[in-house]
Amino acid sequence: MSEKLQKVLARAGHGSRREMEALITEGRVSVDGKAATLGDRVESNAVIRIDGHVVKTKPADELICRVLAYHKPEGEMCTRHDPEGRPTVFDRLPILSEGRWIAVGRLDVNTSGLLLFTTDGELANRLMHPSHEVEREYAVRVFGEVNEAMLQRLRKGVQLEDGMAKFNKIKPAGGEGLNQWFNVTLTEGRNREVRRLWESQEVQVSRLMRVRYGDVKLDRGVPRGGWQELKLTEVNYLRSLVGMQPETESKVDVHADSKGSRHKQAAQIRRAVKRHKELQSAGGRARTPASRRRPSTRNSGGSK
């Protein structure tokens, strides 16, 4: 049976469906030697190329969906290749033998915290789509006078340049004087939405961290620049949120909770974090290993 070209490419791990549609529009994709167009459907035996490179495709039932929870530090760009040579969120991720990691949404360069990556472009596309209304929670420190009337406006909704926006929940989380912490939740992923909502009330956001995506929380044991691969139950929770069939296999070791396995992963993360810091201090940036490179798709950095 034929499938939409962008869906096949997304499943093969070359980006989200939206990114694949952009590649097709740019004329960078061919099918059986002919330039592809939006709306094309392909059979399982079709020869697909991106920028002249053959794409390895597999049926959906042969792929294992993997998801990483990454602890993004401030200062990293949500893009694969930054023209200014700044560090990116992809620099420290574990290398894949096939496919590639796809970011589920973005975080602004000055925002830290939980950022999900998956090898399944269809899952990434659905999680990012506003129709599924997946709840995100942020810890935010604001500078300025905050009163109850202001909080009520933020809960009810305020007019931004791209439409009405609001926080579903706002909870005080400590602080004193003009520096106060709040935990806020919303279900949209508009560009810099958390910051813009607070700025509409004439207060400044001085720190912003995403701490939860759906029911997936940022593990405090994962250092900045580190990651944790989600177990099968967590992967299937995310798939269920967006109406996808559950997975039956996982790449996560069934003994992942053992002491030796935890130490092995922690050591791997420490090495990646240390290597990245050394490259930054030397004035360079972490280069993507050749084995991880794929035909590039641009993914600008800047939500929240």
Q: Which residues are catalytic?
A: 108
3-state secondary structure of 226: coil
Query: Looking at residue 223, what DSSP letter applies?
Result: P
- Distances in Å between the alpha carbon of 86 and those of 105, 124, 164, 173, 238? 19, 24, 33, 33, 31
3-state secondary structure of 217: strand
Contact present, 111 and 74 (Cβ < 8 Å):
yes
Number of C-beta neighbours around residue 279 at 10 A? 15
Using alpha carbons only, what angle is made at residue 189 by residues 188 and 191, rounded to the nearest 5 degrees?
Answer: 130
Tell me which residue of 106, 109, 96, 108 sits closest to 67, measured CA to CA: 96
Phi, psi angle pair for 4, to nearest 5°: -65, 140
Instruction: Retrieve residue 160's tokens.
Output: 């931004």
3-state secondary structure of 230: coil
Contact present, 155 and 197 (Cβ < 8 Å):
no
Residue type, 120: D
Q: Which is it for strands 29-31 and 34-35: parallel, antiparallel or unpaired?
A: antiparallel
